[in-house]
Structure 1
Amino acid sequence: MTDGKTTVMLVDDEELIRAGLRAIINAEPDLTVVGEAGDGAEVLPLVVKLRPDVVLMDVRMPAVDGIQASKHILETVTEPPKILVVTTFENDDYVYDALRAGASGFLLKRTRPEDIVRAIRMVVSGESLLFPSAIRALAAAHGGGRAKGLSHTGLTDREAEVLRLMATGLSNVEISERLFVSVQTVKTHVGNVLAKLGARDRTQAVILAYETGFVTPG
């Protein structure tokens, strides 16, 4: 963060798109754009230099696409930023591949300005899943149960229950109300789930849960 603001980097090969996103984000008192790139090939050195909290990453770019750029960031940078991939179609295979690679969520290019701002704040807080219904639809389209189940991860019954509730899109507060426990207890369970699954964040844990058939779409 810079001066208490969440810092954002924009990656898109269309300057008009970047200009629109920049105007939306910089209009918010708690958000600021700190850098921009026109292709995935430019991203890694800028992320290392600028250390943004969030990267808005276009999926399709001419030289290095958003999936490869995201992988480079997540595999190379210590304490990497949250990545929101930006796409035209939510059922794009690229979106699912990006989520599997570790992106924290996605935005459609037609998303309303207020929802873009909300999405950035949500992925920074990490306390709820962005667009859970769309993630369920993607999981259904790409087939669940392709990998082995999660029994080997050693999740407790309560942690497994929390993971299932996470997959429905419930926030930490909503899970605490459902289970009649404190929010801090839920945060502890979520942290344990992520550690045991080797997941970077909530989204990656939920994608893994769908892929293994631990949670089924619908």
Structure 2
Amino acid sequence: MTADDPEVSVLIVDDNRTVRRGIRLRLENARGIRVAGEASNGQDAVVLARAERVDVVLMDLHMPGMDGIEATRRITADRGDRCRVVLLTSEVSDAFLVDALEAGASGYLVKGHDSDQLLPVIRGAAAGTATISPLVAPRLLRELREARPAPADPAQLELLTAAERRVVGLLSSGVTSNDDIARHLCVSVNTVRTQTAAALRKLHLDDRTQLALWGARNGLDRRNP
């Protein structure tokens, strides 16, 4: 992050005061991030997200009254792309992940497991990038494989080089780390980053999550890299 990057305002939503305090302390020490407020339930989150015009909401899932899914749905319907919602929960469930994405969430992180990714995910969400925890991403991809629609445009596969298809194939099979993909293919991490960026550009996709889903729909997860 550079000094020219805009400040990201964040709303912390969790019914556990201790959790909110811990997140606030971490964010307040991060450059370029401003904590705009806190909420302990979904209804207050909707009101504050609108009033404070925040960029990113860190949303718990299970809260009294309005839960995180319904609050996410209302915030994204109200503010659209002007506010991104990232679910931060201890729930590891296919159903909740799908519900969150359908409600308009731009990310799904698992408490404890993804704590080191919190700051880059917040910045990425503000920039329009979606992130799904590696702990739950393979579950979503397996669900897609079980009910895979026919590829919308098979000719798109020809846009990618063989090396790019191998990278996308691993990504869509649930190998989400650049380091792990590099080890599987015996290439450098920089090569993986370059090939991922090239695939995103050629397919006009916004982020790695969309690329993984595209790969699963087009059968790249079943090909031997």
* TM-score over 0.5 for the pair: yes
- Paired residues, what number? 204
Cα distance between partner residues in 2 of 1:217 and 1:103: 28
Cα distance change, pair 5–208 in 1 and its aligned pair in 2 (3 A): same
Instruction: Look up the match of 1:109.
Output: 111
Instruction: Look up the match of 2:59.
Output: 57
Aligned counterpart in structure 1 of residue 45 of structure 2, from 40, 43, 46: 43
Structure 2, unpaired ranges of 5+: 179-189
Establish whether residue 177 from structure 1 lines up as the match of residue 194 from structure 2. yes
Aligned counterpart in structure 2 of residue 34 of structure 1, from 24, 33, 36: 36
TM-score of the superposed pair, with normalisation by structure 2? 0.69
Aligned counterpart in structure 1 of residue 205 of structure 2, from 193, 202, 213: 193
Is the 8 Å Cα contact of residues 83 and 105 (structure 1) preserved in structure 2?
yes
Is the 8 Å Cα contact of residues 73 and 80 (structure 1) preserved in structure 2?
no
Cα distance between partner residues in 1 of 2:156 and 2:55: 30
Structure 1, unpaired ranges of 5+: 195-200
Cα distance between partner residues in 2 of 1:145 and 1:92: 13
Instruction: Look up the match of 2:184.
Output: none
Instruction: Look up the match of 1:146.
Output: 147
Question: What SS does structure 2 have at the residue aligned with 1:83?
Answer: strand
Instruction: Look up the match of 2:122.
Output: 120
Instruction: Look up the match of 2:71.
Output: 69
**Pairwise CA distance, 1:209:** 5.7
- Is 118-127 or 11-20 further displaced after alignment? 118-127
Is the 8 Å Cα contact of residues 6 and 32 (structure 2) preserved in structure 1?
yes
Instruction: Look up the match of 2:10.
Output: 8
Is the 8 Å Cα contact of residues 11 and 56 (structure 1) preserved in structure 2?
yes
Cα distance change, pair 176–189 in 1 and its aligned pair in 2 (3 A): farther
What's the C-alpha RMSD, in Å, of the aligned pairs? 3.8
Question: What SS does structure 2 have at the residue aligned with 1:99?
Answer: helix
Establish whether residue 203 from structure 1 lines up as the match of residue 209 from structure 2. yes
RCO higher in 1 or 2 (8 Å CA, sep ≥ 6)?
1
Question: What SS does structure 1 have at the residue aligned with 2:150?
Answer: coil
**Pairwise CA distance, 1:30:** 1.6
Cα distance between partner residues in 2 of 1:217 and 1:15: 45
Cα distance between partner residues in 1 of 2:44 and 2:19: 17
Percentage of identical aligned residues: 25
Question: What SS does structure 2 have at the residue aligned with 1:189?
Answer: helix
**Pairwise CA distance, 1:24:** 0.8
Cα distance change, pair 77–208 in 1 and its aligned pair in 2 (3 A): farther
Cα distance between partner residues in 2 of 1:121 and 1:169: 19
